[in-house]
Amino acid sequence: MTLTEAEQEVGGHGAYAAAQLSGETWPSPLIVEMVRVMEGETAAWRITTCDTATNELSTMTLR
């Protein structure tokens, strides 16, 4: 398995910090996906959350 450029990047937030910054709370919104991506030259987290009351998905990018 080969890591992507974004996954190899050591700068920025770790997975735990990104999850905390996402605003996830019980019971809603819940994180359904976290992906490490490149935004230009910077590694970032793309986080998708789900509003459990409406099943609406929202996506944010944290650098």
Q: How far apart are CA 58 and CA 63, in angstroms?
A: 17
Under DSSP, is residue 37 helix (H, G, I), strand (E, B) or coil?
A: strand
**Which helix H or strand E contains 1, and what residues bound it?**
none
The arithmetic mean of pLDDT across residues 10-25, rounded, is 90
Mean pLDDT of the chain: 93
Cα separations in angstroms, 46 against 27, 28, 32, 50, 53: 21, 18, 11, 14, 22
**pLDDT of 11 higher than 80:** no
pLDDT at site 36: 95
- Output the pLDDT for position 19: 94
Q: What mean pLDDT is predicted for residues 4-20?
A: 88
